Homo-oligomer: A and B are copies of this chain.
């Protein structure tokens, strides 16, 4: 295949956009925690980014897209450290079917692994050891993310080449299963294994900086154009359709979420708007290439409504999914994946496509939940038994930033006036 500079330009840009999502998430999450733990929250994203990027180059790409092993994962040694993945035999850059150099695709895919790991951190805010988190990131991305990416996108069990394709070809345009269901199910399991924050449900734990949350949501949205638009793998009509669907579904989700709040709580909130943004983005992710802009309005609005209700579940069921990774990513990820069965313009129920697409979407969603939950549980329990997850109660009360990172996020006059010595 010849190099297509236009496709390549768009994929380079898409990779850059998706990379930006992780710091965007750090702000989104960081603004939502209390002022005494914002740095730790942000560090969980930055740490996940650092670990995952290195791991991806070493064995992540190979485990996702290397030689298939049982339909579950790629062989990590096949293209270890990208050997054989960048150049062809003649030393020229390998180019994919869209005219995009393989190395660009590698970068693009790495960013998906990164954001998925980072997403999970919101469920266990304010209370876990940074070292345990860093080890978890490396292990989880290896055992849960890379196999899932292989199964769905790398020609594995949940792909068009897998066993369920006989019903209908499963659709996951940009990562409803691999990213959002995966992260959301992991978040649920982790929240349960790690346990509640001291004071959960009784003490106020309100967002300390809502403009930061809105900024984070904005950067996520911006980055998501790469996430969904780039999943067309070139700059064409599908990328454009994904772009428009992403925008309008997200807009509708904001309206849906705000409407629920206005009717139920009496006020449409800015946190609701920011949350609606994410709910809409998540829901449209798997569907962005197969639904119409008109359909996206409904798909998005329903996502907003569903998630606005779902975030309350944790109080009723009593698990401390601190920043609602389950209520937003798992719920909207499931909805978006299943909604394809209704809204896909070619195969969806509402468009006369029958129930087979719906069935296969439900199956891959269920398999994804189960796979992620089991793998996460094993890793989480193993880490609990070895390194331990929790910081001390005193640290939680005094603030994890200070105890774990020896920093406080914001200077106040008093703090600034009492340093005793500076050493380097």
Contact = CB atoms under 8 A, between A and B. Distances in A.
B5 A406 contact: no
A203 B236 contact: no
A277 to B, nearest CB: 8
Interface in A189-247: 201-204, 206-212, 214-215, 217-218, 221-222, 225-226, 229, 234-241, 243-244, 247
B50 A254 contact: yes
A20 interface: yes
Interface string A270-311: 110110110000000000000011100100000000000001
A12 B229 contact: yes
A126 to B, nearest CB: 13
A73 interface: no
A3 to B, nearest CB: 6
A235 B57 contact: no
Contacts of A148: none
Interface stretch (A36-44, A156-164, A365-373): A36-44
**Chain B CB within 10 A, most for which of A34, A92, A218:** A218
A361 to B, nearest CB: 23
B268 A43 contact: yes
A103 B58 CA distance: 39
Contact of A235 (B12, B201, B267, B293): B12
B15 A273 contact: no
A-B complex: 6 closest residue pairs judged by Cβ atoms: A5-B6, A93-B237, A23-B218, A204-B419, A312-B424, A6-B6
21 contacts: A5-B9, A8-B235, A8-B239, A12-B229, A16-B225, A19-B247, A35-B411, A51-B255, A58-B297, A86-B237, A86-B241, A102-B240, A103-B243, A106-B244, A107-B244, A210-B407, A211-B212, A267-B404, A267-B407, A269-B407, A314-B424
